[in-house]
Structure 1
Amino acid sequence: MKIAIAGAGAMGSRIGLMLHQAGNEVVLIDRWPEHIQAIREKGLIGEFEDQTITAKLPIYSPEEIVEGHTNVDLVIALTKSMQLEAMFKDINAIIGKDTFVFCLLNGLGHEETLSKFVAKQNIIFGTTTWTAGLAGPGHAKLVGTGSIEMENLAPEGKDFTLKVIDIFKQAGLNPIYSDNVRYSIWKKACINGTLNGLCTILDCNIAEFGSMSMARTLIETIIGEFAVVAKAEGIELDQAQAIEAVEATYDVKTQGLHYPSMYQDLIRNHRKTEIDYINGAVWQKGQKYQIQTPYCAFLTQLVHGKEELLNAK
């Protein structure tokens, strides 16, 4: 299968590398010049727990990919949420009528963006528990294992989605076909909607947040707002299950010492965040359904205020 990875950062590098090892034709697309240059000069370095491999994978900027490239079978979307539309505008030339898009982004509201570029029957949505990091340009650190859950947005897309399942199985990516991936996306959004914004504003890691006396009240309130908006969209969230999933991350032996991605983007690197696609999306959807979401609204505004103070780009 000919596969383009739109957003070849840490996770894109991991998935692209594993699909390449399984014999697929993989093209990486990214905007980071140093990352592109390093992979072109030295190959993509994948540092696994038991081995380090180097793969010579083609990588292009979105502007370069349109010149001389035919349509691909599958585009795996792994950009930052706020970069999704710009990426697909730039790579639209390689998306044909039979091209499918598999969206693995965190957050909510991506269906509306992708529907501008491909038919709904050609969209697959999913979530993943795989992790990845970058030690530097062109150097991915790949620790642990995980799985990928996916489901076609429209019934007509199921046959191709099952082909993707087979391809991902051969690559060792542990895919799972879901009958309700939207529930999983909302559940994961609850985790991001509590830990990302709160750890960023409070300047703490996950374990430090979990140790606070008011942590339970904060996550219950925010997840409550997620649940009532999800219900308006036809998703019945199990709030107790979502709270349990958040609190399971506090353990210092697992994720507790981790600083969430939003913290790393804003506090460490002064980059703009994905808050509009997490708490901000709940706030916006709440306005649509005339549902009050004061905690999500306030947290969204606080994060944007911090972006301004840090002159985030």
Structure 2
Amino acid sequence: MLSETSQIKGLTLITAYLLTSNEHLTVCHPQSKAVTMPALTDLNIAVVGTGANGAGIGADLVNAGLRVTWIEQWPDNVAAIRENGVRIEFGQLDAGGRVETAHPRVINLCEVATLREKFDAVLLLVKAYDTRWACELIKPYVAEDGFVIGVQNGMSVDDIVAVMGEERSLGAVIEITAAMYTPGVVERHSDRERSWFAVGAPSSAGVRHVATAAAILRTVGVVEETTDIRSAKWMKLALNAAELVPSAIMDLSIADAAKTEGLYDVMLAAGNEAIEAALADGCQVRPIFGMEGDVASNPETFVETVLAELIANYILSYSRSTILQDWMKHRHSEVNELNGFVVQVLRSAGKPAPANQAVVEFAAEIELGTRERGIHNLEALAARVRELGGLVG
């Protein structure tokens, strides 16, 4: 019997063929019986949430010749894209970067009610805390045999299932580094060969959609099809718990945060607590980003290994976390769905999460306006972690 990895490699060749073919192919997924995949050009696709990641992904789908509708909640972004298209800036333009453009069909949230069509595939790229209402919004417009895939941080797949049902729900791990500070303009810091996804179904009922979703996302980056999407998403959450909010609290890029003495210890502690939470939740430590070796699947070394991989290969020196980008725009962040979720799971297991608890507290104060982000928070943050019982030894 072929290993899961070998089967996935075979599916990769098949789904890559679909990108340029109008034929329908029958494939076997490791968890399912044979399923017939439509040609990608036959699909009607929606991208819900076209900020930095959504617009970057959506642009690749449009430029691959797929039929795509963008549904966006920022009116200025919709207006800019309708007038000029979307501009994707890859890397630093003054240091060998390049610009790509796309001209999608884009509508405002308030225009969804005017749609008279059904979507075969919906890529959900809203914030994790917006998942449930976004699913309710789009549900009437999803084809009977269509699906919704959460291409998001956090454990949003359960919210998708709650609205769409197991047979029409998929989850994805996403690693794309991007930013959007100006309507219609995306800074994409990770090119396609350094954009990574894992795609899977939370139950066997939705497995038939995995190969199609993976084929769609292969227009954007490297895709792994997994039979354990929950564990994969927990591994990404562990990385996010370590990098996103701690760096934002200090107002630093992710790379600079990881080089800051004292802060790196807090980041590792937060990530390691997330690994502990994943195990308490019944999930497994497993490699992501295509990493291999014992250090990528060992609970004691996973976080430092994946953080080093992220910094070396998936971000630029000046890449800011999505949390920091939210705060710069005076928006609420996903801290409760990331670090807060770790606290919640460990509390349910009767265990503390001092690093994540402290991070949540500081983030809440920043969002309330009672604390300013900046490196001056480092000593106080570390002290609070110790007060809660962390950073021992």
Structure-1 residue corresponding to 2:326: 265
| Contact residue 97 and residue 118 of structure 1 kept, 8 A | no
Structure-2 residue corresponding to 1:177: 225
Note the alpha carbon deviations across 1:214-247, whole angstroms, 9 max, x for none.
2453234223321222112111332302222224
Work out the CA distance in 1 between the residues paired with 2:310 and 2:161: 34
Work out the CA distance in 2 between the residues paired with 1:105 and 1:278: 11
Structure-1 residue corresponding to 2:130: 83
Work out the CA distance in 1 between the residues paired with 2:130 and 2:115: 24
Note the alpha carbon deviations across 1:138-179, whole angstroms, 9 max, x for none.
22334522232211222232222112323444x253322123
Report how far residue 53 of structure 1 moved. 4.3
Work out the CA distance in 2 between the residues paired with 1:252 and 1:46: 20
Match for 2:159 among 103, 113, 128? 113
Query: Residues 91 and 253 (structure 1 numbering): CA distance in 2 closer, same or farther, change over 3 Å?
Result: closer
Note the alpha carbon deviations across 1:277-312, whole angstroms, 9 max, x for none.
001011122232322222212211210111101699
Note the alpha carbon deviations across 1:161-214, whole angstroms, 9 max, x for none.
112323444x25332212333233222212211222212222333343233332
Match for 1:98 among 145, 161, 166? 145
Q: Does 1:19 align with 2:61?
A: yes
Give the SS at the match of 1:257: coil
What are the within-5 Å matches in structure 2 for residues 218-229 of structure 1? Answer: 218-229=266-277
| Contact residue 18 and residue 173 of structure 1 kept, 8 A | no
| Contact residue 126 and residue 150 of structure 1 kept, 8 A | yes
Query: Residues 55 and 209 (structure 1 numbering): CA distance in 2 closer, same or farther, change over 3 Å?
Result: closer
| Contact residue 128 and residue 148 of structure 1 kept, 8 A | yes
Match for 1:203 among 251, 269, 273? 251
Structure-2 residue corresponding to 1:58: 105
Work out the CA distance in 2 between the residues paired with 1:94 and 1:45: 28
Query: Residues 175 and 235 (structure 1 numbering): CA distance in 2 closer, same or farther, change over 3 Å?
Result: same
CA RMSD, 1 decimal: 2.6
Structure-1 residue corresponding to 2:19: none
| Contact residue 272 and residue 303 of structure 2 kept, 8 A | no
Structure-2 residue corresponding to 1:296: 356
Amino acid at match of 1:202: M
Structure-2 residue corresponding to 1:46: 88
Give the SS at the match of 1:107: coil
Amino acid at match of 1:159: R
Work out the CA distance in 2 between the residues paired with 1:282 and 1:84: 18
Structure-1 residue corresponding to 2:200: 151
Report how far residue 255 of structure 1 moved. 3.6
Note the alpha carbon deviations across 1:3-61, whole angstroms, 9 max, x for none.
11010111111211211222221000111111111122222333457754443321112
Report how far residue 122 of structure 1 moved. 1.6
TM-score (normalised: structure 1) = 0.88
Structure-2 residue corresponding to 1:3: 45
Amino acid at match of 1:243: E
Report how far residue 265 of structure 1 moved. 1.5
Amino acid at match of 2:196: S
| Contact residue 249 and residue 256 of structure 1 kept, 8 A | no
User: Number of residue pairs matched?
Assistant: 309
Q: Does 1:67 align with 2:114?
A: yes
TM-score (normalised: structure 2) = 0.71
Give the SS at the match of 2:46: strand
Query: Residues 204 and 165 (structure 1 numbering): CA distance in 2 closer, same or farther, change over 3 Å?
Result: closer
Match for 1:239 among 300, 314, 325? 300
| Contact residue 172 and residue 229 of structure 2 kept, 8 A | yes
